[in-house]
Structure 1
Amino acid sequence: AGTGNLSIMLLERGCEVVSVEPNDAMREIGIERTKGAKIEWVRATGVDSTLQSGSFDWVTFGSSFNVMDRTEALKEAHRLLKGNGYFSCMWNHRDLNDPIQQKAENAILSIVPNYTRGVRREDQRPIIEAHKELFDNIIYIEEDFYFHQSLENYILAWQSVKNPYWDLETKEGQGIFDKITAKMREVLPQEFDIKYTTRCWSARKVG
């Protein structure tokens, strides 16, 4: 669940939410942001949620399905869902042709030269289709959106993205991220409009 971005959107739509996040710092931010809402925060992972089997209508992975063993995540989602419940994995992809995004990516590459975008940019249909015993009726949707953002919120969004290049739970990872954000503050304006595309794959539980 990271810092609660998707959780908040689900709460706004009347859902009762259980948010799973292993990172203590991110979870604490999420708890603070959702105070007073119908939500429970759990310290666990997407492949071992510790939650009760067959107790959810919908299991979602917001910008997180790519940072764990996807087969194990699908098995865990299947275990958690009620009959005919749905699994969804989704990401907000930066428009790499946007000048702001190009400057941000150059800032990252100046500190982490081997940086790549990884599994999050791949089509997720093949991994779901490979487990037809777990999920079928795959649905794919995408939509562009433009977002007015402050530099600090943009940096916070990067902080909430799990990736193998800077593990914020380690001193080394935090140091790398601090260098990246310092570079971003040098090259990016204080506020800007920026384009993203949300891409989402959903599938229905089998059995």
Structure 2
Amino acid sequence: MDSKALFSEKVERYRNSRPKYACGLMNYMKETFDINETTTIADIGAGTGIFTELLLDLGAKVIAVEPNAAMVEQLRLALYCKELEIHERPAESTEIESNTVDIITAAQSFHWFDKALFKAECKRLLNGNGPVCLIWNTRVVDEPINVKTAEIYTAFCPDFKGSVRFAGGANHSEEDIAEFFEGEFEKKVYEFPLTYDKQGFVDRALSASYALVEGDKHFETMTKAFEALFDRYAEDGKVVVPNKSVLYYGNI
């Protein structure tokens, strides 16, 4: 399946269950990059606008770029305002005017891009020596609830590729990031545990790109497995999923 269509059947679950990002990460970006109402940020692979919203909250003007039509519809319904411009385009060909962007962000999306073409597009867009910021929420893979979650994916989901993908993307590795930035980048990590009720926990599990969709013969069995996992770890109707928000940034 074309990667841009992977989430088309999961948009509502995605928007309702995917977490935001650590306040410390957002504060760091605002202070380090002096983000204000004169700052233009291109948020690439914006999805339903989870990170886009946080950038708008920092006071910036944001150009959200997302190729999936269903996600763009959700983004537009949730966030449309005069400070937001939306391009239904791929990361490698955004159709943003050249040299008009101060900062580029890619939250939970860099691993889907053609990295060489994306890098060329970043160089075209930036109006100076502004940073490219690559951001992930990444679950702590050796924590028991995350180990058991990965086991369910392994049992039911042929497209699940193990702990690297589970922790934030098929190609989310520092080797890839170092290559993209030619070895010169900064990394910031923020503890960001995620608290879910039962519906939120299950929806988050089902929103993964590799999760089965309704209609698959194993979908109901997989869903029940996630419900049972929640019941095993829940206290007072909630579970806490160990997670970190991670920022990589550099100049290209």
**TM-score range with shorter-chain normalisation?**
0.7 to 0.9
Greater Cα shift, 136-145 or 103-112: 136-145
Indicate yes or no: 2:196 matched with 1:149. Answer: yes
- Residues in 1 aligned to 2:132 and 2:123: alpha-carbon distance in whole angstroms: 8
Using the TM superposition, name which of 94-103 and 46-55 deviates more. Answer: 94-103
Partner in structure 2 of residue 9 of structure 1? 54
The one-character-per-residue Cα deviations of 1:9-62 (angstroms, maximum 9, x if unpaired) are 111111111111111222222222214462122211111111111111111111
Distance 2:202 2:87 in 1: 25
TM-score (norm 2): 0.66
Q: Secondary structure at the match of 1:119?
A: coil
Could you tell me which residue of structure 2 aligns to residue 127 of structure 1?
179
Corresponding position of 1:65: 110
How far apart are residue 156 of structure 1 and its match? 4.7
**Alignment pair present for 1:97 and 2:145:** no
State whether residues 104 and 188 of structure 1, in contact with CA within 8 Å, keep that contact through their aligned partners in structure 2. no
Q: 1:184 is matched with which residue: 226, 232, 239?
A: 226
| Pair 1:159–1:187, CA change in 2 (3 A) | closer
- Residue aligned with 2:59, SS: coil
CA contact (8 A) 2:103 2:131 kept: yes
For the 8 Å contact 1:26–1:160, the answer to whether it is kept is: no
Distance 1:112 1:50, change over 3 A: same
Say whether residues 1:193 and 2:240 are aligned partners: yes
Code of the residue aligned with 1:150 in structure 2: it is: D
Residue identity over aligned pairs, in percent, reads 22
Once the two structures are TM-superposed, the CA of residue 102 in structure 1 deviates from its matched residue by 2.1
Q: Quickly say closer, same or farther: Cα 1:33–1:103, change in 2 above 3 A.
A: farther
Cα distance in 2 between the residues matched to 1:155 and 1:4: 21
Question: 16, 28, 32: which is aligned to 2:77?
Answer: 32
Equivalent residue for 2:68?
23
Following superposition, the deviation at residue 7 of structure 1 comes to: 0.6
Assess if the C-alpha contact under 8 Å between 2:205 and 2:226 holds in 1: no
| Residues 1:183 and 1:45: Cα distance change in structure 2 (over 3 Å) | farther
| Count, aligned residues | 193
1:139–1:201 contact (8 Å) kept in structure 2: yes
Q: Do structure 1's residue 203 and structure 2's residue 230 form an aligned pair?
A: no
Aligned equivalent of 1:41, options 68, 86, 92: 86
Distance 1:174 1:52 in 2: 40
Q: Where does structure 2 lack aligned partners over 5 or more consecutive residues?
A: 1-45, 232-236
Name the structure 2 match of 1:138.
185
Superposed CA RMSD in Å reads 2.7
SS in 2 for 1:197: strand
Is 1:53 paired with 2:95?
no
Show structure 1 runs of 5+ residues with no match. Answer: 131-135, 167-171
Offset, 1:154: 4.1
